[in-house]
Amino acid sequence: MRKIIALMICTLFLAGSNDAELILSEEDVEPTIGDFFQYEMVGNYYPDSLGNAIDEENYLRVENYDGNGMRMEVIDKGETSFEGETVDYFAMMMTWDTSFTLYFDDAWGDGDGKEDTIEVSNVLSSEIWQVNEGLFGLNTTDIKKTDKNELKMIMTLNEYEEQTVIIGESIEEIEIELLSTSNNQPNGTKVGDVWTMSTTERTTGTSRDRTCEENDEDCEWEIEEIDLEETVTSTSEVLTEVSVKTMSAGTFETLEIKDIDEGEDSGNYTLLYVSDTGIPIKMMFYSEGELSMNSHLESYRVNAWGVCENCPSLEEDADGLLGDLPALPFLMSLATIALIAHRNRLQ
């Protein structure tokens, strides 16, 4: 669900009111190289959803899940050409490296009653270029994204006294270029607001896949060239005000915002919980009505606002630095990339 990018862009603003009702309004901030936001993963939703997608009937459990979270960091700033003009941009690198082992009860139905396993490792990186525009309801635009997603599965299949090891690998490397975008988000976002975002992008690159038995030296890659143009329209709705308790950051009053793409099944959507400081505190992703990923803000550094790497918890700092901190726009890409990677693997 790529349009969660637009949703987070539109909500990463300071609260515009001290009244009981949460109202979000626009506020710009200059990012600095080295600024970062770290999200921690909650529960086993991601590996469990993958296990159920592979074989829901026989999936048993996950073990050795590292639970690694995702990190977004500003790595570069400069000038580039966009729509015939020279514009300032800043580049962020998102990284996510996770691994775990899935267990199945005789998954391939050979009748031996033995458990079969799949060792999963997933390494994802994405560099996003953004420009500041100061448009109505928006303060950034993604003009380019370069993604690399590496997935490896080692399947150990037990069949009575024999054992077969099959290795499946997938590597996708793509570049996404923004062609056009439109948005009608209202100023002063509050409960009850509904708006749409439409984005047209061109995606180019390659996808490589191979599945072979262990030690098969003749196993070859199947390579697919990617070149497509896609327009996606999403609808965002502010549902209610919710008190959110995170794993590490404390409890916050937030706006609950639902985002769903046009043409998607009603069970595929994202919930974003935005604090009165404008920072996304919690992000939840649903596939076919089931929770497939849950992440909470864990730590951060914003040099321009005097926030150190080992700063106090968000709960301790809620009336201090965070009370004056505009959320940086690069946070918006984090959830999208993770969800895209997850859904691509299920298809």
The two structure tokens encoding residue 254: 């937030």
Angle CA 71–76–79, to nearest 5: 140
Count up the domains in the chain and report the number.
Answer: 1
Angstrom CA distances, 97 to 88, 279, 284, 293, 331, stand at: 30, 24, 19, 15, 18
Question: Tokens 């997608």 map to which residue?
Answer: 53
- 121-180 pLDDT, tens per residue? 999 999 988 886 432 333 467 888 999 999 999 999 888 778 889 999 999 999 999 888
pLDDT for residue 15: 36
Instruction: Give the C-alpha separation, 75 to 94, whole Å.
Output: 10
DSSP symbol at 338: H
Instruction: Give the C-alpha separation, 189 to 256, whole Å.
Output: 11
User: For residue 125, what are the domain limits?
Assistant: 4-346
Instruction: Give the C-alpha separation, 222 to 92, whole Å.
Output: 31
Angle CA 102–105–107, to nearest 5: 80
Give residues with Cβ within 8 angstroms of 276, minimum separation 6.
15, 22, 252, 253, 254
pLDDT for residue 251: 80
With 0-12 / 13-18 / 19 or more C-beta atoms within 10 angstroms meaning exposed / middle / buried, residue 212 is middle
Question: Tokens 């143009």 map to which residue?
Answer: 229
Tell me what the pLDDT averaged over the chain comes to.
Answer: 77
Is-contact 285 342, C-beta < 8 A? yes
Instruction: Give the C-alpha separation, 291 to 283, whole Å.
Output: 11
pLDDT for residue 104: 93
pLDDT for residue 28: 62
pLDDT for residue 162: 84
Instruction: Give the C-alpha separation, 163 to 184, whole Å.
Output: 57
Query: Nearest CA to 297 among 342, 247, 337, 333?
Result: 247
Is-contact 233 201, C-beta < 8 A? no
Lowest-pLDDT choice from 67-76, 253-262, 334-343? 334-343
Give residues with Cβ within 8 angstroms of 157, minimum separation 6.
107, 108, 110, 116, 163, 164, 165, 166
pLDDT for residue 346: 40
Query: In the predicted model, what is the mean pLDDT of residues 28-47?
Result: 84
Packing angle, helices 4-11 and 333-346, rounded to 10? 160
**Residue 209 pLDDT more than 60?**
yes
Give residues with Cβ within 8 angstroms of 78, minimum separation 6.
88, 89
Angle CA 154–159–160, to nearest 5: 140
Per-residue confidence band for 240, with pLDDT thresholds at 50, 70 and 90? very high
DSSP state letters, 286-336: EETTEEEEEEEEEEEEBGGGTB-TTPPPHHHHTTTGGGG-PPPGGGGHHHH
Q: Provide the b/e sequence for 277-292 (b: ≥16 CB within 10 Å).
A: bbbbbbbbbbbeeebb
pLDDT for residue 84: 82
How many other CB atoms are found less than 10 A from the CB of residue 92?
27
- 270-319 pLDDT, tens per residue? 998 887 666 678 889 998 888 988 988 887 777 776 654 334 444 444 44
pLDDT for residue 303: 77
Q: Provide the b/e sequence for 105-132 (b: ≥16 CB within 10 Å).
A: ebbeeeeeeeebbbbbebbbebbbbbbb
pLDDT for residue 103: 95
The two structure tokens encoding residue 44: 């086993």
